[in-house]
Amino acid sequence: MEYYFQTNCAAKSSEWTDELHELQLMFGVKEFMTGHFFCGIPGDCTCYCSGVVLDVPEASKLLSSVAIALSNCGSIWPAFVPVHDPTREAFFGIQNMGTIFTRRFDADRIRSQVPIKLMHLEGLHQLFLSKFVRLIRDGFLNKFLKVKFLMRLTYITPPFDGEDDAQVREHEVSQSPGKKDIQTYIKTIWDDDYPWSNWYSAEDPLKGFELTAIWSEHTVDDSLEMEELENASVFEAEKWLLSPVLELNMTDDPMGHFIGFSSQLRLLVKALDASFEVKFIEDLITDGNPASVPSPSVLDRVLKGLFHDGQIPDRQHDHGIGGTIKGAPLGSLFAQFCLNALWFGNCNIHAIAVLWIEFVREVRWCWEESQPLPRTMTNGRIDLSSCLIHQKLQMLAICIGKKGVKRDVNGNSSVSDVDKDPPIMTEDMHEERLQAVEAFGDEFSFSALLEREILSSDMSAFKAANPDAVFEDFIRWHSPGIGKSVRMKGDWPPRGRLSARMSDHGNSWRKIWDESPSLPASEQKPLLDPIREGEKILHYLETLRPCMLVEQMISSAFKASLDTLSQTSYGDLKQMKLKIEQLYKTISTSLKPLRGNIVADRAELIGDLVRLCAVFEHVEKLLIFAASIRHKLADATRLCEAIFSDFYNYYLPKMGTGSSNICYDKVFKSKQLIKAHEREVIISLFPHPTANQSWRKVLSMGNLLNGHEPLTREIIFLAHDGATDDQYGRNVPRGSPGEVCTHRMYVCGTSNDLQVALSVTSWD
C-alpha cells in the first residue's frame, strides 16, 4: 500500500492547484492510498512483480479486500488499485464515507485515435449526462439536473528556433540573365544581436511558454451551450497563467558541458598548466602535434580580423568595476588576440604558440613599415591598470607615431614652441627607474627626479623661444598660480614678480633655471627615443616566456569575456546586475596571484582558476537566460522580472550560494498570473500559422488561439443533488447534507489522447 497525505489541509484547495497528485486531480479527493499486487515469498521484499497486469475481476477482488479492511478500522480514506496495462493509467477505487455514503471511482484512457464526438465539448457533455441512467429513463434529466462546468486549457507557443517559414528573417531575390529568380532564405538565430554571438551561438534556454487559461465554475443548461463555449474566445477565460518551458541543459546539464566563454577559459587554464613546463615559445611548435593546430587558412583569417579589420576600441562600454582586473581593455589588440585564442585550435598551448608567433610578426611588420598599430589608442598615455603586454603595444603605437615625425628646426619663436611631451613609460620601466633611484640613494625621490628632467627641458626651450625672458617670466607662463603678473598692455615678453615662496634665492627651481641652457625643443635630446624603445618592445614580445604570456592572456581573457557579456541588454533585472558586479570582484581577487613573476603553489593556482571558471559558467548561463526572457517579454516587464526572479531563486543553490537544505534536482516551476493589460503581449507570442504550417496540421479540436490548438484540454463536470427520498431511497438519515456532489467527471485529452475519470456518490 502507498499513502498520500495532503500537504496543506487548512488551505482552501482549488480544482486546478499544481501541487495536486494525479489521482487527486482526477477524482477530487484529498488523502488516499493505492494498492499494488505483490507476488513472492512472504517476508522477501525482493520478489515484487511490477509487471503483473490485473484484469477487471482481479482488480475488483483486490479493491473489495482493501475496502473491507479500511471499513473494519474505521478509515474513510479512498483506496485505488490499477487495472489493465499501466500505460492506460486505469484505476478502480472506493471510499466508505461513514455509514451514509459510498463513492466509487473509475478511470481509463485512450491512447489512439479519439472518436470525433469526444473531441468536442458537446460530445463530452453528453458523455457525462449518460451516467445518469435513472433520470434519463424517467425523462427528468434536463428538468432536475444542473451540471456545473470548469475548464483549463494549456497552450504552448510555437518553437522559437523551429524550421518553419516564420523563422525566416530575410528574403533576397537575385536575378541573372537566362535564369529564373533565385530565392535565398536566411534563417534567424535568436542571439544574432547579442554581444557573444561574434564568438559562439548559444542555445536558447527558453523553448517556449505555456499559457494556461482557466474558466471558473458555472452552470451549463444544455449541450448547445457547450458548443458555444468551444468557439468562445480565450479572452473570456477568468484567469491566465504563464509559465516558461526551459531547455534541459538549463536544469540538468552537468558542469563543463556548456559551450561558451567559460568552457574556453577552462581550456586556457589547462594551457597555463602546460606552459610552466616550457621555457621558449618556439619549443611548443617543434614538439606540438600538427593536428592540434588549425590550418594556415584559419590562421590567416584570424590575423586578418585582428590587423586589417581592426578599429580603435570604444571605452564607453567598459564596466567600472572591471578596471580592477589587470587585463587589456575590451576591443584592444591584445584583448582581441586573447578572445580569438580561446576559439583557435580548441585553445591548446601549441595553437596559442603558433598564433602568438604570427601575431608578433604582424606587429613587427607594422613597426618596420611605420604603419599604425590597429585597435590601439595613441593618446600619448599608457594605461598602467592594464596588463604589461597591452602597455607595451600602446608604447609601440606611440613610438610608431613619433618615428616618422620630422621636427621643424626653423620654427618661429613663440610660447607654443616650448611645449615638450613628458616621458612615457610602461609599468616595468617605472620599476626599473625606481630601482635606479634607490641604488643612488634617497637624495631624490622617483617623482622628483622625473619632474626635474621635464622642468629642465621646459626651461631650456623657453629660453630659446624667449631670449630676453627672466626666471619670473617662466614662472608666470609655467605656473601662473605661483607667479604674480605685472604685464603692461602690448608688452612681450610678459613681466612679473614672484610669490614669497618662489623669491628665495636658494629655491631649487631657480637653481635649475640657472643651469638650463638655451636650447630649442626640436634640438634637445628627446626624453623618449622611439627607435630604441620600439626595438626593446619587440624584443620583449619575441622572447616572452610561455607561462608569462598565458598568465596575461588569462587576465585579459576573463576581463574581455565578462566585458562582452556585460554589454547584454537584460532590462532592469537587479539580481543579474548584482551577480555581474560580484563576478567582477571575484575575478579581480582570484587573478591577483598572476601579477607576480613567481607562482608560489602551481597546483593551488590552477585549482582556484578552475573554480573561477565554474563560477563564470553559472553567471554566463544566468545572463543568457536573462537575455532570452527579456527578448521575448520586452513589453511585459513585470512578467519578465517575476519569471527571472523565480528562476534565479531556483538556480541559486546550484551556484553554491544558497541554503544547503534546498534540493538541487527539483523541477523548476513558475506560473505567473497575467493581468488584463498584459494579455495582448502574450497573444503576440502565438503568431498566426503561415500557409506552409497550416496544411501540415489537421485541426480537430476547438478553443483555438490564433489558429493554435490547446496542448491539453482539461474539463471537470460536476452534478450536485439534494438528499431527497424520491431519488436515493427512503432511508436517508437525518442530518444529511442538503446537497452532495453525486457525480464528478474529469476529462483530459487531445485528438490522439483522452483520459476520463468518473466518481459517483451514492446512499447505501
Angle at 71 between CA 67 and CA 74, to 5 degrees: 140
Q: What is the pLDDT of residue 665?
A: 52
Q: What is the pLDDT of residue 99?
A: 67
- Look at residue 406 and tell me whether its pLDDT is greater than 50: no
The most confident of the ranges 171-175, 505-509, 554-558 is 554-558
Q: What is the pLDDT of residue 660?
A: 45
What grid cell was written down for 750? 487531445
Q: Which residue in 361, 358, 298, 309 sits closest to 336, CA to CA? A: 309
More confident call, 118 vs 450:
118
CB 609 within 8 A of CB 272: yes
- Tell me the per-residue pLDDT of 73-95, one tens digit each, with 9 for 90 and over: 878 888 888 887 777 788 888 88
- Look at residue 728 and tell me whether its pLDDT is greater than 60: no
**Per-residue confidence at 329, pLDDT binned at 50, 70, 90?**
very high
Q: Which residue in 269, 140, 223 sits closest to 613, CA to CA? A: 269
- Look at residue 34 and tell me whether its pLDDT is greater than 70: yes
- Look at residue 416 and tell me whether its pLDDT is greater than 60: no
Q: What is the pLDDT of residue 520?
A: 82
More confident call, 214 vs 442:
214
Mean per-residue pLDDT, 27-37: 80
Q: How far apart are CA 20 and CA 294, in angstroms?
A: 56
Domain positions in the chain: 1-97, 112-160+209-237+667-764, 261-402+543-626
What are residue 147's DSSP bridge partners?
220, 719
Sole residue written with cell 493581468? 675
Integer angstrom CA distances of residue 517 from 20, 460, 463: 95, 5, 8
More confident call, 418 vs 640:
640
Angle at 577 between CA 575 and CA 578, to 5 degrees: 65
From first CA to last CA, the distance across the chain in angstroms is 26
Q: What is the pLDDT of residue 714?
A: 93
What are residue 395's DSSP bridge partners?
none
What are residue 759's DSSP bridge partners?
105, 744
Of the listed ranges 43-52, 87-96, 444-453, the least confidently predicted one is 43-52
Handedness of CA 56, 62, 63, 64 (dihedral sign): positive
**Per-residue confidence at 6, pLDDT binned at 50, 70, 90?**
low
Q: What is the pLDDT of residue 698?
A: 60
What are residue 749's DSSP bridge partners?
713, 754
Q: What is the pLDDT of residue 141?
A: 52
Mean pLDDT of the chain: 79
Q: Which residue in 279, 126, 152 sits closest to 216, CA to CA? A: 152
Q: What is the pLDDT of residue 254?
A: 66
Q: What is the pLDDT of residue 614?
A: 92
What grid cell was written down for 220? 451549463
Integer angstrom CA distances of residue 515 from 183, 512, 518: 81, 5, 10
- Tell me the per-residue pLDDT of 269-298, one tens digit each, with 9 for 90 and over: 999 999 999 999 998 887 666 768 899 999
- Tell me the per-residue pLDDT of 642-673, one tens digit each, with 9 for 90 and over: 999 999 998 888 776 544 444 455 678 889 99
Mean per-residue pLDDT, 187-199: 84
What are residue 483's DSSP bridge partners?
498
% of the chain beyond a pLDDT of 90: 37
More confident call, 614 vs 483:
614
The most confident of the ranges 171-175, 243-247, 378-382 is 243-247
Q: What is the pLDDT of residue 374?
A: 93
Q: What is the pLDDT of residue 318?
A: 61
% of the chain beyond a pLDDT of 70: 73
Enumerate long-range contacts of 484-489, CB under 8 Å, 24 or more apart: none
Q: How far apart are CA 224 and CA 557, in angstroms?
A: 68
Q: What is the pLDDT of residue 470?
A: 85
Q: What is the pLDDT of residue 701?
A: 78
How does DSSP classify residue 699? -
- Look at residue 423 and tell me whether its pLDDT is greater than 80: no
Q: What is the pLDDT of residue 409?
A: 39
Of the listed ranges 114-118, 127-131, 350-354, 401-405, the least confidently predicted one is 401-405
Stated pTM of the model: 0.79
Mean per-residue pLDDT, 437-453: 59
**Per-residue confidence at 498, pLDDT binned at 50, 70, 90?**
low
